[in-house]
Amino acid sequence: MQPEQTASGSKGLAVILPAAWRAPLATLAGVWLVTFLVTWREWLAMFAQWWNSSTYNHILFVPFILAWLVWHRREQLLKLPPEPWWPGVFGFGGALFLWLVGSVSGFNLAGQSGAVCTLIAGVIVVLGPQVAAGLILPLAYMLFLVPFGDELVPPLQSVTAEIVIWLTEASGIPAEIEGVFIDTPVGLFEVAEACSGVKFLVAMAALGVLVAATCFQRWRSRLIFMSVALALPIIANGIRAWATIYIAQSQGIAFAEGFDHIFYGWVFFALIMFLLLAIAWRWAERHPDDAAIDAGRILASPALSRLSEYRFSLRTALLTSLAALFAFAAWNLAASRVEAALPEQVYLPGVFGWQAARSPQELDWQPRASGADHRLLGRYANAAGQTVDVSLAVYARQADKAEAGAFGDGALPPDTPWRWVGQSAGADGYTSDTLFALGRHRRLAQTSYYHGSLLTGSVLQLKLATMRDRLLLQSVPTATLILSAEEGQGRPVAELLAEFRRSIGDEMAWIDGILESR
């Protein structure tokens, strides 16, 4: 018994922190604490998504995975010298700038990425390049704390629809496709947002990176595995959607939907994940007992040794990091208070050749504009009785939950019969969305974004302009203009909307007149 006790005791002593590590870790904890306090809004928003959105529930496991990755490297990490590194301050400032840009513009992905990258950069500043090299996997894996994937929903819907229509026709079922709608003899099927497979894809991406990094050593093997890990859920989701249509042909839509929810929710994902892990197990290049990192190799690296020469004191590292955090926090506070002056009330003006229409919409359509300071909805009719619906949302500033072009806002109102069919870029500074509802209502909606001297249909251009002005502390109003009309009015909808635009004249001057901003 005595030898076992001695071995156990020595193992316990091995994990006690050496004196050289205690002050750097305490300093890093202080830097991280202040970082959390400065970027708390982004972390609160991220946690809300982890907890409330089924797309991001898997991220709740990421902190535990990070802890395991660090713990698995602990013995080798303790052999490395933690030395503060002054060039890391530039990366720390860059991460804070990314957070600032996202925070002031309402671009959540940028703000949240910046908040996470600031923690990563803090490790490099306080512990140095050699320790960072030993922690490269957990540091990189921290990026999976950022909820991303909503932006992939429309293209994934289109890809899934293309897979489904190919399999449906190949299986002998006559079908026609329009956007994300597939018409079959038994009924009309929609590849909805929930059927896009984005939940499956983002979870498998996180799992794939973890498995590729821990089970394979060669980059070629890792790239091949990741290609499989990303392609497998997309293809599998298309097969699942096709199976729903195939079963519906003989068993009915109600049975197929119930089978789809049970099979996909409880069985299908598990089978695909098991297949992926089986592939990794079969061709794994690393033994589970192998050391995750080699401290001797890191210490012997000439490049890392040269980088480590640019060290500075722990106290200077702490003061520099805190100074950067407080400076960017002050900048963010000043930028967040910039707000354009708006009139107390705004009105839709008259348009030559058109008059206010009293006829109601055949099927209610109201775009969503969360957090807008002013919201205008109107309907115009020409001499032939053809109608155009106008939606104008005005924002004094761009912020979280009050942002033009935010995900979920715009021409497609949520929780209504309206469904998105497809999108195309217009030639005159707008984006066109085709909407469909209840199998018979079809609507074209053209969206433009206004910001200062910019009129565009691109959300990216809008965000870039918003970032620029907020960072320069310039107060500029923002507006979202949506012109829309239903089909079945005796002429192509695109021609009707083009006629209305010609009647408006200079679109920017028309919006300026409403905002009274010049």
- Of the given ranges (63-77, 114-128, 426-440, 447-461), which has the lowest mean pLDDT? 426-440
* pLDDT of 93: 97
Q: Would you place residue 1 in the very low, low, confident or very high pLDDT band (cuts 50, 70, 90)?
A: very low
Contact (Cβ atoms closer than 8 angstroms) between residue 258 and residue 189: no
Residue 261 scores a pLDDT above 60: no
- For residue 452 the two structure tokens come to 């200062």
> Residue 473 gets which letter from DSSP?
T
Three-state SS for 108-177 is HHHHHHHHHHHHHHHHHHHHHHHHHHHCHHHHHHHHHHCCCCHHHHHHHHHHHHHHHHHHHHHCCCCCEE
The pTM of this model reads 0.83
Q: What is the dihedral of CA 246, 250, 254, 255, to 10 degrees?
A: -90
**Segment 480-514, tens digit of pLDDT:** 999 999 998 889 999 999 999 999 988 888 988 88
> Residue 228 gets which letter from DSSP?
H
Q: Which residue has the higher pLDDT, 133 or 5?
A: 133
Q: Would you place residue 236 in the very low, low, confident or very high pLDDT band (cuts 50, 70, 90)?
A: confident
Residue 2 scores a pLDDT above 50: no
* pLDDT of 223: 93
pLDDT averaged over every residue in the chain: 87
Q: With left for phi above 0 and alpha for psi between -120 and 50, is residue 106 left, alpha or beta? A: left
Residue 12 scores a pLDDT above 60: no
**Segment 382-409, tens digit of pLDDT:** 999 999 999 999 998 877 777 888 877 8
Distance CA(98)–CA(47), nearest Å, equals 19
What is the residue extent of each domain of the chain?
15-149+288-336, 151-283, 355-515
Residue 11 scores a pLDDT above 80: no
Place of tokens 């969503």: 368
For 307, list phi and psi in degrees, rounded to 5: -65, -35
